Amino acid sequence: MDNHRVALVGCGAFARMFLLPNIAANPRLKLAVTCDIDATAAEQCRVQFNADRSCADWHEIMGAKDVDLIVLATHTNLRGQLIIPALKAGKPVYVEKPLASTQEEMIEIVRAVRSTRVPVCVGHNKRSSPAILDLQRLIAKARASGPGWAPSVDRTQGRRQPIPEESQMQILMRVNDDCRSWGDWIFWDPEGILFAEMVHFVDLALLFNSSPPVRVFAEGSARGNFALTIRFQDGSLTTMQQTLVGHFDAPKELYEVSLNHVSLAVDHYVELRQRGLPDEPFRRTYAFRHEGHDREIGGIDAFHKAVSEGFEKARRTGGPPPFIMPDKGHAAHLDRFVDCVEGKGPNPCDVDAAVIVTRVTLKLLQSIRLGMPLNVGPEDYHLPAN
C-alpha cells in the first residue's frame, strides 16, 4: 500500500498542533477525512491540512471505503464505542491516551483487539522520544552490567557484601506545568490532570521498572499540585511531582534514574546525562523545534538560550514568545504504528500495556480522593491470556 488513508476524529488543539501536522508530513499517510462534532472545526482542518473531505458524524467513517486507518483525538468520552466498530470493520486505530476511563470499557476494547486481530496503538508517545529510547537502553545496560565506575569516595574497598537495597531502582520525575496553558475543561473534569496527563508518566515508570507495582499513594489535588509514589515488588520506588504554578517556558520534564550505582538524567528531552557507565558519553543532546522549523541544535543550554532569545524578540515586537518544542516522540510513535500495521515492527504501545497503565493511574486517582495508600495486585497489572 502506497498510502494509508487516514480519518482524524477530534479536531481540537492537540490534533491541530501535533497529530494533523504529523499525518500531513508522513509520506506513508494521506489525510482523507477530518471529523468533529463541530462541523466548522472539521472543515477548517480539512482546508488547513488538505484533507479530501470533512464530516461531523464519526459513524460515517466506519464503513467508508476511502478510510484505511483512524486516528482518535477526542476526550475519553469517545473510546470503545468508536474503536470497537472500527476494529470490526478492519480499520486499525491510533487513539490518544488515556485508553478509556472505566475498567469495563478497557476490557471490551481488549476483547475486540484479540478477536479481530486488528491493531490499536495508544498515544503514549514519550516511549518513542529519542531521549527516552536512549534512556531505556542505558537502564537496561546499567541493570545488566556490574556496578558503575568506582566513585571518588569509596569506603567499601571490596570488603562488604551488597545490601538488599542496592538491587532496587529509584526514579524521580519532575513535571513543571503552568495552569494558564490548559483549557478550562480540565478544571471541571472530575479526573483532573492526574488522570488526563499523568498516564504518560505512569507509563514510563512501568516501562522502566522490571518488577510489578504493588502499592501507590497520591497527595494533593487531582486538578494539579500533587505528588505520586509507586512502590514495586522488589522495593523500587518511582516518585512523581507535578506543579501547576510553574512557568510554561521553563523545561517541563526532568527524569532522574538511579540503579546499580549508575545515575541517569533526561532533561526536557533535549539532553541525557550519565555517570557510572564507562563506555558511554557523559552527555547526549537532541534537536528541538524552534521558530516553526527543526534546527540542528540540542541540549538544555541551547534550549534556555532559544527561550531567552524568543522572549527578547517578543519584547521588541509586542508579539507572543515562540513555543519551543522538544521531540517528545509524537511523529515517531505514529510512524512506528504504521510499521506495525504494515507488519514491519511491533506495536509501540498496544492495548494490553495501556490498560495496565490506566488501571494504575486510576488507583492513584482513588488514592488522592481517599487520602490513603492503596495496594496494587495482579488483578491490576496482569491481563489473562484468553
Residue with cell 491516551: 97
User: In the chain, where are the structural domains located?
Assistant: 4-118, 127-150+160-286+357-379
Please give the CATH topology (third level) of the domain spanning 127-150+160-286+357-379: Dihydrodipicolinate Reductase; domain 2 (3.30.360)
Weakest mean pLDDT among 99-108, 344-353, 370-379: 99-108
d(CA 182, CA 161): 51
Per-residue pLDDT at 293: 47
Give the CATH superfamily of 4-118: NAD(P)-binding Rossmann-like Domain (3.40.50.720)
What letter does residue 284 receive in the DSSP assignment?
E
Cβ–Cβ < 8 Å for 261, 163: no
The mean pLDDT value of the chain amounts to: 93
Residue 25: all three cell numbers together: 508530513
Q: Is 226 helix (H, G, I), strand (E, B) or coil?
A: strand
Weakest mean pLDDT among 92-101, 249-258, 287-296: 287-296
- The amino acid present at 97, given as its one-letter code, is K
Furthest-apart CA atoms within the chain: distance in Å:
73
Q: What band does 296 get if pLDDT is binned at 50, 70 and 90?
A: low
Closest-CA residue to 136 (of 357, 348, 381, 352): 348
Per-residue pLDDT at 116: 97
Q: Does 158 score more than 70 pLDDT?
A: no
Torsion over CA: 187, 189, 193, 197 (sign) = negative
d(CA 97, CA 6): 19
Q: Does 133 score more than 50 pLDDT?
A: yes
Q: What band does 291 get if pLDDT is binned at 50, 70 and 90?
A: low
Q: What band does 120 get if pLDDT is binned at 50, 70 and 90?
A: very high
Q: Does 159 score more than 80 pLDDT?
A: no
Closest-CA residue to 298 (of 310, 308, 288): 288
Cβ–Cβ < 8 Å for 354, 97: yes
Q: Does 124 score more than 70 pLDDT?
A: yes
Which pTM value belongs to this model? Answer: 0.94
pLDDT digit string (tens) for 300-334?
999 999 999 999 999 999 988 989 999 999 999 99
Per-residue pLDDT at 295: 54
Q: What band does 146 get if pLDDT is binned at 50, 70 and 90?
A: confident
Distances (CA, A) of 214 to 104, 206, 234, 300: 22, 11, 9, 35
pLDDT digit string (tens) for 8-64?
999 999 999 999 999 999 999 999 999 999 999 999 999 999 999 999 999 999 989
Residue with cell 482518535: 72
Q: Is 236 helix (H, G, I), strand (E, B) or coil?
A: coil
Per-residue pLDDT at 1: 52
The percentage of residues in the chain with a pLDDT greater than 70, rounded to a whole number, is 98
Q: Does 294 score more than 70 pLDDT?
A: no
One-character DSSP codes across 126-172:
GGG-HHHHHHHHHHHHHHHS-S-S--SS---TT-SPPPGGGG-EEEE
Residue with the larger pLDDT of the pair 379 and 76: 379
Angle, nearest 10°, between helix axes 199-208 and 351-370?
Answer: 120
